[in-house]
Amino acid sequence: CLLRGWITGSLMEEVLGLVMGHDTAAQVWKTLTGAFARESKDREIMLTRKLQLFRKQNKS
């Protein structure tokens, strides 16, 4: 209950609606990772590519 409260307390209102009614921290976490994991992975790939390009440009 404490962990669930901490997680939901840190969410923006727009995201909070996704997890309303969830009883456990595990349910909240599963919903959040399902909603944002793909977006996060895409961002990770994009940032990795930018970093590689930056390093390549600085070697020249």
Query: For the chain, what percent of residues have pLDDT higher than 90?
Result: 78
Q: Would you call 22 exposed, middle or buried from its count of C-beta atoms within 10 A (0-12, 13-18, 19+)?
A: middle
> Can you give the residue ranges of every domain in the chain?
36-60
Mean pLDDT over each residue of the chain, to the nearest integer: 92
CA distance 54 to 45: 14
Residue-wise pLDDT for 2-52, tens only, equals 999 999 999 999 999 999 999 999 999 999 999 988 888 899 999 999 999
Return the pLDDT at 1.
Answer: 81
